[in-house]
Amino acid sequence: MYTPTHMPNPMRACTPQVSARRFAAVIALCVSSLGAGCASLPRPTPRQKNDGMVFILPGIEGQSYTNRNIARGLRMGGVTGGVYIYDWTTWTGPLGWYIHLTDTHRNRSQAAHLARRIIKHIEAYPDRPVFVVGHSGGGGIAIMAVEMLPKSHPVDGIILLAAAVSPERDLSRSLSHTRRGIWNFYSPRDVAFLVVGTSIFGTIDRRFGPAAGAVGFETPEGLSENAARLYEKKLTQIAFEQSMAVDGHVGQHNGWTRCGFVARWLAPIVLGNNIPESADWNADDAPDVAANHAPASD
């Protein structure tokens, strides 16, 4: 289901009565299990870079199987360009996720580092497609990084999956630094992380309440005519729908990273096609994951 860029927030008034300490312990357990057993993957080859580049930004858990699922799904969907997992986190123990969520100065520094990397890539491979995919907290870093790009170095697009960003966040600058725009995938079913969690601990941009990954972005009031036109032409919001369950996604926080969903819904965007109702690919024929990872400090 495609929804307009301006919409009411039915869950905004929801203020869950949950113990912050208990919920923090649950989140720490969840993110630590996500990051377990992750190995670094090889860097993109020059040949892959020449076909284009996709930068994948993890959530506050850092590199995990969810990121590799995104990479594998892109390959399954026919993406042959470079795929690079940019780990902007610094995992510092059970409460590392809280630092990644709340340290605004550090997060802006990481976004600036990514922006420089994107500029360097664009200068080495001009006129080749570049996408930034941000999951959860990584969506906030993706927006900040693209905002920092000069207009002479736009990316093709940003894909946001369950973004832990406030619905009121002004996207006009990041939209203006893309050729094709921003795709925001959101689900009202993402209650634990993006309604309860962001109401208690806040979003990446330090607002409290349901996040855009649960309720979608709103068009801010008082925008200039040009900025409002950007929202109208370049912001595509896609709400969870039951048909997505065929790819194993039932509307929860990590469902957007399921390989089948990525192949059917995200790969066509990267390849410059429309999002299809169905995709002709066979999981048995999918190549090994050719995604690439290096720590953000490189």
| Contact yes or no for 169/205 (Cβ under 8 A) | yes
Q: Where are the domains of the chain?
A: 45-295
pLDDT digits (tens, 9 = 90+) for 275-297: 755 444 444 444 444 445 444 44
pLDDT digits (tens, 9 = 90+) for 34-56: 444 444 556 899 999 999 999 99
Spatial distance between the Cα atoms of 172 and 177, rounded to a whole number of angstroms: 9
> With left for phi above 0 and alpha for psi between -120 and 50, is residue 140 left, alpha or beta?
alpha
| Contact yes or no for 194/210 (Cβ under 8 A) | yes
The whole-number pLDDT of residue 34 equals 47
Q: Which residues, in sequence order, are bridge partners of residue 210?
A: none
pLDDT at 268 over 70: yes
Instruction: Between 121 and 15, name the one with better pLDDT.
Output: 121
The whole-number pLDDT of residue 92 equals 64
Q: What is the pTM of this model?
A: 0.82
| Contact yes or no for 123/156 (Cβ under 8 A) | no
pLDDT at 170 over 90: yes
Third-level CATH fold of 45-295: Rossmann fold (3.40.50)
pLDDT digits (tens, 9 = 90+) for 80-110: 999 999 999 986 677 788 889 889 999 999 9
